[in-house]
Amino acid sequence: MAVIPQFGNPHGTYADRPGAYGIIGDDAGRLLVVFSRGRCHLPGGGIKQGEDPLSAVIREVNEETGHNVTSLERMGEANQFLETKDIGPVNKLGIYFRGRLEGNPVTKESEHEWRWMSLEEFFSSTAHDFHKWAVKKWFVPL
């Protein structure tokens, strides 16, 4: 059984929070990212009760960017202890999928702004360590 990388330093009790994230590139070698609350993220987020990780990443990418994502391949997992303002201390249990965008964006949540970012920009951004680790390990441009 593979060891799941764990990032962050816990200070107390953390609730597990499963999430699914997309690692999506374009033909220029850039990475799809979203910005929310001043932080850069991979598109994705929490898995709802009764939802499987694949359905969650499809839903989250669509909600945050307006895009449909296809050709999804589950790549692996990494976790990170985080202090969140809205739900408190959590251990984000990240499940990562590599995929491609299909068609043009339709609608999206207003609290997220998406864009393509170079890998250099991403690695020097505010993205969490478990996202940076996943991109280093599994990013493959189109």
Q: What is the pLDDT of residues 5-25, one digit of tens each?
A: 999 999 899 999 999 999 999
| Residue in the block written with tokens 């929490």 | 46
Predicted pLDDT of residue 36 = 86
Distance between CA atoms of 118 and 11, rounded to whole angstroms? Answer: 33
* Chain-centre distance for alpha carbon 17: 13
Instruction: State the pLDDT confidence band at 112, using cuts at 50, 70 and 90.
Output: confident
* Residue-averaged pLDDT of the chain: 92
Distance between CA atoms of 19 and 26, rounded to whole angstroms? Answer: 23
On whether the 14-138 domain is CATH 3.90.79.10, my answer is: yes
Q: For a pLDDT cut of 70, what percent of the chain falls above it?
A: 95
Spatial CA neighbour of 76 closest among 119, 139, 123: 139
Predicted pLDDT of residue 87 = 83
pTM: 0.93
Distance between CA atoms of 60 and 42, rounded to whole angstroms? Answer: 10
For the chain, what are the domain ranges? 14-138
Q: Give the SS3 label for residue 55.
A: helix
Name 15's bridge partners: 90
Instruction: State the pLDDT confidence band at 103, using cuts at 50, 70 and 90.
Output: confident
Instruction: State the pLDDT confidence band at 61, using cuts at 50, 70 and 90.
Output: very high
* Chain-centre distance for alpha carbon 94: 8
Predicted pLDDT of residue 109 = 63
pLDDT at 142 over 60: no
Distance between CA atoms of 60 and 139, rounded to whole angstroms? Answer: 19
Q: How is residue 116 written in tokens?
A: 């393509």
